[in-house]
């Protein structure tokens, strides 16, 4: 057992209920997944974050974004009272630093879909095509590798229930397996990475922003989904407009941490914790 830290983090919120990632499982109050090819079980005991894994501590701290001071976020956006309120509503929320490939696949599946079904589909993909890791608490499944999905037939993915997104998955997996520079996105300017991601099938503005925010550490990305569309104008006093313009205006208005704030607003809206 390894101690990860004592930060005020809500692991269930971040890993299971925040709709940033969809592949973690819970058993006996512990949360499990395969990360960087290694099985991970993580839980909290009296305010201490504990983990059972062969991964080094700093990999987990980075995944959970523990090095960032989230109490400063509410102050940064204090000029927008509703935004600051949303941040203070969820002191245990963190924006995860996931592998870009995992965010890419998960959010292609998220298009015109709901959270519970996204979770079921991601789980089915991992169980069907991901490497199995045996642990004391049971079997964990990794995300399927790009080369594996690239060789899938669209029809066998359709049989898992992914619907019309079957060819998006195969097409994107093929481009990644053929050398699409996923690992270079992190160091690119936002606009360049965004344009590159949009060339992948099944990736539009919203999915690209999710990959940049959750998978590339580009915290200025501001994904605009149906929930954010409903509340952004009211929170910032903007005139109603297209989702693309909402995202652009939010990035100008909010700067480099726009996406972090977006996660709090999204969760507040989706759970009904905040009106509008």
The residue ranges that bind DNA (CB under 7 A) are: 18-20, 107, 110-118, 158, 161, 163-164, 168, 198, 200-208, 210, 223, 225-228, 242, 244-245, 262-263, 266, 270
Cα 92 to chain centroid, rounded? 16
Q: Alpha-carbon distance 127 to 197, whole Å?
A: 26
Q: Which two tokens stand for residue 191?
A: 């606009």
Q: Alpha-carbon distance 217 to 100, whole Å?
A: 9
Smallest gap from Cβ 135 to DNA, in A, equals: 27
H or E element that contains 249 = helix 243-254
**Of residues 237 and 240, the one with the C-beta less far from DNA:** 240
Smallest gap from Cβ 46 to DNA, in A, equals: 29
User: Can you state the angle between helices 258-271 and 243-254, rounded to 10 degrees?
Assistant: 120
**Of residues 6 and 244, the one with the C-beta less far from DNA:** 244
**Of residues 49 and 197, the one with the C-beta less far from DNA:** 197
Smallest gap from Cβ 253 to DNA, in A, equals: 16
Q: Alpha-carbon distance 193 to 205, whole Å?
A: 11
H or E element that contains 60 = helix 57-63
**Of residues 53 and 262, the one with the C-beta less far from DNA:** 262
Please say whether the beta carbons of 172 and 203 come within 8 A.
yes
Q: Alpha-carbon distance 98 to 115, whole Å?
A: 18
């Amino acid at each position: 057992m390894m101690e990860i830290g004592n930060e005020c983090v809500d692991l269930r919120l971040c890993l299971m209920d925040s709709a940033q990632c969809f592949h973690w499982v819970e058993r006996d109050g512990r949360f499990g997944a395969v990360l960087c090819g290694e099985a991970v079980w993580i839980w909290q005991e009296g305010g201490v974050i504990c983990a059972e894994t062969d991964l080094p501590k700093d990999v987990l701290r980075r995944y959970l974004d523990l090095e960032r001071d989230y109490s400063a976020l509410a102050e940064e956006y204090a000029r927008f009272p509703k935004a600051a309120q949303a941040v203070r509503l969820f002191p245990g929320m963190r924006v995860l630093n996931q592998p870009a490939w995992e965010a890419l696949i998960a959010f292609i599946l998220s298009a015109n879909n709901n959270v519970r079904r996204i979770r079921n589909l991601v789980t089915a993909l991992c169980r069907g095509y991901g490497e199995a890791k045996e642990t004391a608490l049971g079997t964990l499944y990794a995300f399927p590798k790009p080369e594996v999905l690239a060789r899938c037939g669209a029809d066998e993915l359709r049989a898992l229930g992914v619907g019309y997104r079957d060819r998006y998955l195969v097409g994107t997996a093929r481009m990644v397996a053929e050398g699409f520079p996923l690992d270079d996105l992190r160091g690119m300017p936002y606009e360049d990475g965004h344009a590159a991601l949009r060339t992948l099938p099944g990736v539009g503005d919203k999915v690209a922003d999710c990959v940049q925010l959750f998978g590339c550490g580009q915290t200025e990305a501001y994904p605009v989904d149906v929930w954010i569309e409903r509340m952004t104008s009211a929170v910032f006093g903007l005139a109603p407009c297209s989702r693309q313009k909402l995202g652009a205006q939010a990035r100008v208005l909010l700067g480099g941490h726009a996406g972090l704030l977006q996660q709090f607003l999204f969760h507040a809206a989706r759970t009904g914790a905040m009106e509008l």
